[in-house]
């Protein structure tokens, strides 16, 4: 049961995290348009190949931190800010104009798997993203990383990223004109609201854990 829970939460976090129209998704769309679905698959495999190592090492880092009570208290408060930042990031990224159109034409002679590896390697924002989420999920007992359970979580994250990016690329290609409404409502409104709700829930947990019980003493 814990293994399925790890897969589910890993999938949800990475699937939602892969939705914004960032440069990886835009280049994935260009690869699909120019070279077809097989090249897109290799590109996505390159992306999640790097993500696998990022998630694994940030998970080990989070495991060491979770045993520090003072640090956990700081993380509980930081989680509120983290969730608000994620909500804001989704809102801003949805309004950003990302023009990576000439990239694939410039590097079209290289294997798309290699392109995915290189671009994912320079995506440094995924390090704080996964560190923050791993700490949040571990501290909230949403996932378990004892023994081999962490590998189920990692598998869930890889499936989520692959599925999320693939879904968005296919939506962009089949519903090109309707994508504007998708970007206009889902990414800047619904997803940020989702993370704001999580921030409110985390605030309630912090209040109950550190203030409510203290007031009753």
Place of tokens 């009570």: 69
CA angle 170, 56, 82 (to 5 degrees): 75
Extract the tokens encoding 159: 């499936």
In our burial notation (b when 16+ CB lie closer than 10 A, e otherwise), range 39-61 reads bbbbbbebbbebbbebbbebbee
What does the pLDDT read at residue 117?
A: 94
CA angle 32, 177, 28 (to 5 degrees): 20
What does the pLDDT read at residue 166?
A: 93
Q: How many whole angstroms separate alpha carbon 10 and alpha carbon 199?
A: 19
Tens-of-pLDDT digits for all 217 residues of the chain?
889 999 999 999 999 888 765 668 877 887 887 888 999 999 999 999 999 999 999 888 876 766 666 766 776 787 788 778 877 866 776 555 444 445 555 666 789 999 999 988 887 668 777 888 888 888 888 898 888 899 999 999 999 999 999 998 888 777 655 555 555 565 567 767 877 887 898 899 888 888 876 655 5
Q: Identify the CA nearest to 29 among candidates 127, 129, 175, 157.
A: 175
User: pTM for the whole thing?
Assistant: 0.70
């Amino acid at each position: 049961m814990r293994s399925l829970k790890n897969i589910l939460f890993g999938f949800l976090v990475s699937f939602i995290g892969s939705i914004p129209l960032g440069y990886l998704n835009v280049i994935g769309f260009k690869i699909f348009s120019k070279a077809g679905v097989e090249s897109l698959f290799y590109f996505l495999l390159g992306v999640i190949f790097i993500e696998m190592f990022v998630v694994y090492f940030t998970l080990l880092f989070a495991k060491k931190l979770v045993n520090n009570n003072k640090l956990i208290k700081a993380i509980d408060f930081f989680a509120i800010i983290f969730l608000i930042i994620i909500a804001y990031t989704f809102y801003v990224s949805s309004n950003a104009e990302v023009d990576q159109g000439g990239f694939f034409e410039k590097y079209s002679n290289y294997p798309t798997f290699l392109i995915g590896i290189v671009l994912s390697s320079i995506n440094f924002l995924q390090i704080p993203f996964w560190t923050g989420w791993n700490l949040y999920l571990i501290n909230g007992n949403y996932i378990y990383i004892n023994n081999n359970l962490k590998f189920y979580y990692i598998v869930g994250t890889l499936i989520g990223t692959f599925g999320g990016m693939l879904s968005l690329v296919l939506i962009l290609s089949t519903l090109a004109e309707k994508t504007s409404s998708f970007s206009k409502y889902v990414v800047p409104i619904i997803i940020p609201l989702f993370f704001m709700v999580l921030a409110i829930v985390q605030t309630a947990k912090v209040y109950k854990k550190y203030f409510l019980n203290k007031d009753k003493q």
